[in-house]
């Protein structure tokens, strides 16, 4: 009985330590420890309201004055706040990415985190009828995203990718996978979408969409996407996505002219097309 008691006590102490581990790292103030804490939270572990609020406080205090050596840790902080799925952090992330003083890299990750929270917020208010359909039930209606006759199909598709229409993106990736001469501009857009979203904790249907993008890039026979796929393989925490990215990468050879990550600015795409669109 005493042995069992000691075992349970030890287990409880270990759990208590694990739950406070991130908090200890954040309170330490050391840059590397803060980065480690943020990466743990981004993976979904110890991402408690107390830890996320502490991280948000650090970000708010430092985002305009942090030295370059601390930017990577703060960028991971933005990812961790997105991983909470709590929209209350949107205002802070918006303030960071709209700042004229904050580091460019930090603004970029704050914007991605803001967009992720916006997407999750939108999903939570979407009815069951608007959820992703199985591939076999997807129709060409997925392209009817911008009801404007003057727009080309490629513009509609590009707009769909830029505004994170997951259902349409899956359909586009499936089309390109089956195409003998896929549109390079759409492949670039899908590649950019993949690299921007693979770091987040996504649901099964979203992971399925990213897996289809990996297939499309792998079967494109264009080695310029190998860098993207290798990056996903190294950094995603989802085993299914890692497997698809690895498999797709093996279909491609190395090239001296890889796709330049972040060469597509989705916000700029939306701004350019907004005058050609109407609300749907």
Distance CA 230, CA 162 (A): 23
Check residue 28 and give its pLDDT: 86
Over 70: is that where the pLDDT of 138 sits?
no
Check residue 75 and give its pLDDT: 93
The closest alpha carbon to 43, from 201, 197, 194, belongs to: 201
| % of the chain exceeding 90 in pLDDT | 42
What DSSP element (H or E) covers 171?
helix 166-178
Check residue 44 and give its pLDDT: 67
How far does Cα 11 stand from its chain's mean position?
A: 35
Residues in the chain: 280
Residue with tokens 């896929």: 182
Find the range with the poorest average confidence among 153-167, 168-182, 243-257, 265-279.
Answer: 265-279
Q: In this predicted model, which residue has the larger pLDDT, 141 or 84?
A: 84
Check residue 48 and give its pLDDT: 84
Check residue 277 and give its pLDDT: 52
Specify the DSSP class assigned to residue 128: G
Q: In this predicted model, which residue has the larger pLDDT, 18 or 202?
A: 202
- The pTM score is 0.50
pLDDT band at 194 (very low <50, low <70, confident <90, very high): very high
Check residue 115 and give its pLDDT: 85
Taking every pair of Cα atoms in the chain, the longest distance, rounded to a whole number of angstroms, is 79
The b/e string for 159-188 (b: 16+ C-beta within 10 A; e otherwise) is bbbbbbbbbbbbbbbbbbbeeeebbeebbb
Q: What secondary structure does DSSP assign to 109-127, as a single string?
A: HHHHHHHHHHHHHHHHTS-
Check residue 240 and give its pLDDT: 94
CB 22 within 8 A of CB 41: yes
Over 90: is that where the pLDDT of 208 sits?
yes
- 270-277 mean pLDDT: 70
Distance CA 174, CA 143 (A): 13
Domain locations in the chain as residue ranges: 2-124, 135-276
Q: From residue 46, how far is each of 141, 172, 213, 237 by CA, in Å?
A: 42, 36, 31, 16
**Mean of all residue pLDDT scores within the chain:** 80
Check residue 211 and give its pLDDT: 95
Over 90: is that where the pLDDT of 145 sits?
no
**Angle between helix 226-235 and helix 184-197 axes, rounded to 10 deg:** 20
pLDDT, tens digit, 9 for 90 and up, residues 225-267: 999 999 999 988 899 999 999 999 999 988 778 888 888 988 8
């Amino acid at each position: 009985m005493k042995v069992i008691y000691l075992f349970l006590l030890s287990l409880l102490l270990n759990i208590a330590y694990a739950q406070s581990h991130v908090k200890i790292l954040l309170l330490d103030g050391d840059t590397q420890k803060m980065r480690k804490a943020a990466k743990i939270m981004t993976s979904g572990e110890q991402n408690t309201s107390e830890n996320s609020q502490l991280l948000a406080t650090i970000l708010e205090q430092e985002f305009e004055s942090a030295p370059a050596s601390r930017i990577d840790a703060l960028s991971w902080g933005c990812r961790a706040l997105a991983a909470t799925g709590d929209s209350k952090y949107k205002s802070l992330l918006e303030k960071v990415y709209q700042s004229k003083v904050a580091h460019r890299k930090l603004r970029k990750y704050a914007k991605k985190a803001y967009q992720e929270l916006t997407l999750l917020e939108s999903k939570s208010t979407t009815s069951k009828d608007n959820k992703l359909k199985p591939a076999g039930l997807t129709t060409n209606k997925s392209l009817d995203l911008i009801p404007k006759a003057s727009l080309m199909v490629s513009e509609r598709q590009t707009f769909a990718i830029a505004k994170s229409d997951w259902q349409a993106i899956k359909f586009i990736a499936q089309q390109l996978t089956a195409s003998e001469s896929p549109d390079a501009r759409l492949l670039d857009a899908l590649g950019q979408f993949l690299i921007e979203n693979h770091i987040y904790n996504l649901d099964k249907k979203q992971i399925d969409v990213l897996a289809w993008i990996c297939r499309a890039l792998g079967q494109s026979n264009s080695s310029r996407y190998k860098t993207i796929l290798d990056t996903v393989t190294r950094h995603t925490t989802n085993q299914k996505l890692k497997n698809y990215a690895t498999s797709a990468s093996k279909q491609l050879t190395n090239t001296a002219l890889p796709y330049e990550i972040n060469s597509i600015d989705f916000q700029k795409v939306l701004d350019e097309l907004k005058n050609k669109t109407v609300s749907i």
